[in-house]
Amino acid sequence: MTKVHYFFDPLCGWCFGASPLIDHLVQRDDIQLNLHPGGLFDSRELSPETRQHFLESDQKIHSMSGVEFGAAYQAKMRDADSVVLDSMLPIRAILAAAQSGYSATEMLKRIQLAHYQQGKTVHSVEALNSLAADMGIPADTWNEIFAQTDVQPEIASTTSLMMKQHLRGYPSMTVEIDGQWISVPVQSYFGNLKAWETFWNQLSR
């Protein structure tokens, strides 16, 4: 198994752009994917200028990666009286999914789709409970583990690892080869799944 470390934030548009690449890694049986969530947003209200900047970045991400930013999301970013982004509860949901015995990457994907396509407020407990139910996580298990999950140690670990590996920004990725963590230029493969697959096939030989 090839160990891969993925550094991300669930509300990072460029990480959403990387989602087809992450899907490919999840489907492989020769890759062990380790998630390292960061905390970009802590209940941050976006100014109109920031919202416009994000929408412009989203267009670039779409052109490079092919991921679709939904009409509901775009309307919310353009027209809502207030837009608040908070990574903390979505990260807690991702960690809680794994601790419940389910897929952390699946929860990440559902959070990204709910935010970037459906325009949902994914830092609401109700929205995250609904995503957990859709994944088939029993409500009693989910409620107990979600309530007890602490995101801060994980975020601190992510920050420490990124500093140690000289990684800047999300998404970042490293692969362990002969005891060394080698950086993988994720964004270079946006929109080119064939080259991405070839890269990992050659690495796994």
pLDDT tens profile 101-111: 999 999 999 99
pLDDT tens profile 120-147: 999 999 999 999 999 999 999 999 999 9
CATH of the domain at 195: 3.40.30.10
Per-residue pLDDT of the chain (205 residues; tens, 9 = 90+): 899 999 999 999 999 999 999 999 999 999 999 999 999 999 999 999 999 999 999 999 999 999 999 999 999 999 999 999 999 999 999 999 999 999 999 999 999 999 999 999 999 999 999 999 999 999 999 999 999 999 999 999 999 999 999 999 999 999 999 889 999 999 999 999 999 999 999 987 7
Domain that holds residue 73: 2-203
Give the span between the Cα atoms of 76 and 145, in whole angstroms: 31
What is residue 123's predicted lDDT score, i.e. its pLDDT? Answer: 95
The total of structural domains in the chain comes to: 1
Cis preceding-peptide flag for 171 (omega within 30 of 0): yes
Report pTM.
0.96
What is residue 205's predicted lDDT score, i.e. its pLDDT? Answer: 72
Work out the burial of residue 160: count CB atoms within 10 Å of its CB; fewer than 13 is exposed, 13-18 middle, 19 or more buried.
Answer: exposed
What is residue 203's predicted lDDT score, i.e. its pLDDT? Answer: 87
